[in-house]
Structure 1
Amino acid sequence: MAHNIDKMYEEAVESGLLPGISLMAGDKNGNTVYSKSMGIASQKAGRDLPFTPSTVCALASMSKLMTSVAVLQCVEGGKLDLDSDVKPLLPDIGKYGIITGFDDEKGAAILEDNTTAITLRMLLSHTSGHEYDWFGDLLGKWRASRGEQLWTGPTVEDKSVLPLVFAPGTSFAYGAGHDWAGKLVELATGVTLDAFARERIWKPLGIEDDLSFFPKSREHMTDRIADISTLNEKGEPPAVDAATFDILFGGTDCLGGGGLFGSTEAYHTFISAVLRRDAQLLKPEAYEELFRPQLDEHQEEEFNKYLAKSPVHTAFLGMSIPLSIRRTWSFAGMVAKDGLPGRFKPGMTIWGGVPSTEWFIDHESGLCGTIVCQIIPPMHPPVMALHAKFQSELFSMIHTGN
C-alpha cells in the first residue's frame, strides 16, 4: 500500500503537477504509519531547497484548527465565553449590517440593519454571517463600489469588516470567523495569537521552532520557507514559480483563519496530539466541544447546499468527497456524517488550505494524516484527488494490516 502512495505522488512530481510534497500519517497510539517527502520546495533561481518534513510552508486554512484549540483553552480558563456577544470586544464587527442585494444602476449595495448578536460559537462554526469577500458575488461588488481590493490590507479589520451575508445564526457561509476569533484570543490574553500558541500549544508538544505566524522573523525558520508554485491558467503542469503571489495579501496581523506557517512534521505532531486528545492541550470536555457538530438541522442543510452551490464551491470546500456524503461542521473542521467505504468511517473530521494542503482525523479508525504541498490554483481538483487516494490507501493499510 505504501508503494502505491509513493508511486502516485512520484508520478505527480515527475509530471510537474507537484514540485514537491510531504505526507505523514499516524495512529491513535502516536505511531507513524507513513512518512514520505519528495521533490523541491522552491522553483526560484538559485534556491536549491528539497521538500522535507521540516520545510516551512504556508498552511493557510489549516490554521483554523490551531485557532479553535487556542480559543477553547481561553474558554477553559474563563477568559472567553462561546455564547456571549463579541461586539463589546470587536466594535467594528458587522457594522455595515446585512447585504441583501446590489443596485447596479446606482452602483450601491442594498443593506439592512443587523439586530442579532454575533457569538464566538458562530465565528468558529461559519454561522456568523461572514463570508470571504473573494467567495461572494455581492461582497465583490460592494468592495468594487468602494474602490477597494478583495481581502487586502495588514489587519483583520482591513480584510474582514464586511457586510454580513445573512442574519447571524441563520445559515452557513465560509468566511473569516477564525480571524476574528484569533483577535478575541489576543484581546483576552494581552499577547499575540502567535505568542499564545507558542506557550500553550507548540512548546508543550516540542514544536515551537517549526510553527509561526511570522516565519520570516524567526531566524531558525527563514532558510526553510518554501515558495508557492502555480500551474497554468487551465490548471495544467508543469508548475512554475508564483513569483507575485502573496498568500497573506499584505497581512501583518496573526490571521487565525489562514496565516500560520509550519512544517509537515510539526503540524502532524499537533494533529496526532489532537487525535489522541492529549491532556496537555485540552481537557476531555473541551475535546468533546471541539469535535461536536455545531450546526442545527437548518444550518446543516444550508451548508450542504453551499457545498453544491457551484463547481467552485464544491472544489474549494469539498475535500474531494462526493456530494452524496452528508456533512456538518465542528470547531475542528468539516465532519463527514456518513462513511465512505474504503476511505473513511462516519464522523471523520477534515480540512485543508489554499495551496492544496490537507489534514484529516478518522476518529473511528484511529488514523490521522497531514499533507503539505505549495501549489495553486487553490485546492486544485487533480491534487485533491491524489490526497483522497492517499487517504484510501492508508485506510486499507490500517484495516487489512498490509
Structure 2
Amino acid sequence: MAAERIDKVYEDAVASGLLPGVSVIAGDKSGNVLYRKSLGKSSLKDGKDAAFDESTVCAIASMSKLMTSVAVLRAVEEGKLDLDADARSLLPEMGQYGIITGFDAETKTPSYEPDSTPITLRMLLTHTSGHEYDWLSPFLGQWREARGEIPWSGPRVEDKSALPLIFKPGTRWAYGGGHDWAGKAVEVGTGQRLEEFMRSRFWEPLGIENDISFYPKENPNIKERLADFATLNEKGEPPAVDCPEFDILFGGTDCLGGAGVFSSASAYFKFLGAVFRRDPKLLTAASYEELFRPQLDADGEEALNAYVNSSPIHQQFLSRGIPPDVRKQWSFAGLVALSGKDGWFSKGSTFWAGVSSVTWWMDHEAGHFGTALCQVLPPMHPPVMALHTEFEKGVWEISTTRTQK
C-alpha cells in the first residue's frame, strides 16, 4: 500500500538521523486529505523534546515566493500595482548599478554598463529582470567580496538585493531576488507592510493567522512552536546535529517576500489548497489564470532550461529533482513541467521548494497537491528531497486508486 510505503520512507529517515523531524500533508481538489504524517522532534537542542507535528512552525524559505506572487496579483486587482509598468519608480535602489560587464580580479574593480530598461513586476516574478542571487553567482560573489560584504546579508531588501544586474532586463533567465523586490513593491503600492497585507487578505480569511508570520519570534504562541535547524555532516551524512549558528534570514528584518515566511505545515497546506482550488476569497478567476500560466517566451524557456542544467549546484537548487529530460517553464506560481512522469506528476504540474529542504507541488490534471516541511541542512539536500519525491509518488498512487474506485 502506498501509504505504508510513505510511512516507511520517513520513519527510516528519522530513525537514521537523516531527518530530526518532518510533517507532510497532501490533499485533493475536493478538499479531502489524501495523506498526512508527522514524526520526529522539532529540535535537537539539549533539554528540548517537543514533537515535530503539523503545528510546528518552520522557515519555509523560497516557498514564500508563491505567497508573494499571490499578494502581487491581489494588489493588482485592487488597482495598487501594475504588472507591466516600470517598477523602478517604486523601488529606486533596484538596478541602480546597471549591468555588471566585467571584474578586474587584480584591482577588485567591477565595470558596469548603465541600463534604464524598465523592470516590471512580471519580470521580477518570472526571474527575467536581470537579477541573480549573489550566493549562486561567482561573478556577484566576487563583487560582494570586493566590497567586504557577505552575500544576501543585511536587514533590508535593499541591502540584500540591490545588486548589479547580470543581463538586460527581459532578455534572459536567472534565479534571483525578484520576489523580495516584488514584496517591497506591494508595501509601497498599498502602504502596508507585507505581513499586514497578507494577514488581512489571506491568512485571516483562511484562519491561519496564528500559525504563519514573517516575524515568528514576535508572536509568543508561534515562537514556542518554532523548529530549530539541524545539519548533517560535511559529507551530507546522518545523524543530524543541532545548528544554532544558522540564521536563514542572514540578518534580515524586512518582510522578505522571496524567502522570509515562517509557517506550520497545516497553515501552508490550507493556503496551498485554497490556491490549488482557486478559492475566490484570495483571487479572481482571471488572476488565477495569470498565476498558473507559463510566462516565458521561447527564448526565455530555452534560457531557463539551460540555466537549470548548467551545473550540478543549479540542478540541486532549481530542478527540484525533476529529471533533465522534462522540459520546464516558469509561472508566477513556480516551476511548470511541460511533460509528465507516469506515477509521479502530470503535464502542467507546478512545483517549488526551499533551502531548508521543504517543498510543495500541485498536480492540476490528476487533482492533488501537497507540502513537506522539515528544517535540515545542507540546503535542498538531495537525499532529503528524494524522500519528498517518494511522498509525491505515493500520493499519486493514493489519488489514482481513489479515482478508479
Which TM class, normalised by the smaller chain length?
over 0.9
What is the CA distance between 1:396 and its match in structure 2? 1.1
Q: Distance in 1 between matches of 2:244 and 2:117?
A: 43
Tell me what 2:174 maps to: 173
Instruction: After superposition, give the CA deviation of every residue in 1:356-386 in whole Å (9 maximum; x if it has no partner).
Output: 0000000001100010000010000011111
- The aligned counterpart of 1:227 is 228
For 1:3, the equivalent position in structure 2 comes to 4
Partner residue in 1 for 2:78: 77
Structure 2 counterpart of 1:344: 345
Pairing 1:114-133 to 2, within 5 Å after superposition? 114-133=115-134
- TM-score of the superposed pair, with normalisation by structure 2: 0.98
1:233 counterpart SS class: coil
Deviations 1:110-146 (A, max 9, x none): 2111131100000000000001100001100011111
Partner Cα distance (1:218, 1:174) in 2: 32
Q: C-alpha separation between the residues in 2 aligned to 1:382 and 1:117?
A: 41
Deviations 1:343-363 (A, max 9, x none): 010000000111100000000
What residue is the counterpart of 1:330 in the other structure? Answer: 331
The CA distance in 1 between the partners of 2:163 and 2:297, in whole Å, is 25
Q: How does 1:142-157 map to 2 (within 5 A)?
A: 142-157=143-158
List structure 1 segments (4+ residues) > 6 angstroms apart after TM superposition.
Answer: none
Look up the equivalent residue of 2:225 and give its one-letter code.
R
Aligned residue for 1:389, secondary structure, equals: helix
Instruction: Show the counterpart of 2:63.
Output: 62
Rounded to whole Å, the distance in 1 between the matches of 2:272 and 2:110 is 42
Which residue number corresponds to residue 268 of structure 2? 267
Name the counterpart of 1:306. 307
1:47 alignment partner in structure 2: 48
Aligned to 1:245: 246
What's the counterpart of residue 96 of structure 1? 97
Q: Distance in 1 between matches of 2:303 and 2:104?
A: 26
- Please state whether the residue corresponding to 2:352 is helix, strand or coil: strand
Counterpart amino acid of residue 271 in structure 1: L
Output the CA distance in 2 between the equivalents of 1:52 and 1:154.
Answer: 31
State the distance in 2 between where 1:7 and 1:338 align. 29
Partner of 2:358: 357
CA shift for structure 1 position 98: 0.7
Q: Secondary structure at the match of 1:8?
A: helix
For 1:164-203, list aligned pairs within 5 A.
164-203=165-204
- Report the Cα distance in structure 2 between the residues aligned to 1:317 and 1:100, rounded to whole angstroms: 25
- 1:33 corresponds to which letter in structure 2? L
Q: Tell me how far 1:105 sits from its aligned partner.
A: 2.2
Q: Distance in 2 between matches of 1:234 and 1:108?
A: 35
**Alpha-carbon deviation of 1:61?**
0.4
Q: How does 1:280-299 map to 2 (within 5 A)?
A: 280-299=281-300
- Inter-partner Cα distance in structure 1 for 2:70 and 2:290: 10
State the distance in 1 between where 2:252 and 2:381 align: 24
* Alignment partner, residue 16 of structure 1: 17
Measured after TM superposition, the shift of residue 101 of structure 1 is 2.4
| Displacement after TM superposition at 1:281 (Å) | 0.3
SS across alignment from 1:221: helix
Deviation at 1:22?
0.1
State the distance in 2 between where 1:336 and 1:102 align. 36
Sequence identity of aligned pairs in percent?
A: 60
Q: Secondary structure at the match of 1:100?
A: strand
Task: Give the unaligned 5+ runs of structure 1.
Answer: none
Helix, strand or coil for the counterpart of 2:283? coil
Q: Counterparts of 1:287 and 1:251 in 2: how far apart (Å)?
A: 30
Task: Look up the match of 2:26.
Answer: 25
Residue deviations 1:128-172 (CA, integer Å, cap 9, x gap): 000110000110001111111111100000001000011000011
What amino acid sits opposite 1:266 in the alignment?
Answer: A
> Per-residue displacement from partner, 1:203-244 (whole Å, max 9, x unpaired)?
111111100000000121111000010001111100001110
2:113 alignment partner in structure 1: 112
Tell me, what secondary structure is at the counterpart of 2:181? helix
How large is the Cα RMSD of the aligned pairs? 0.8
- Cα distance in 2 between the residues matched to 1:250 and 1:55: 23
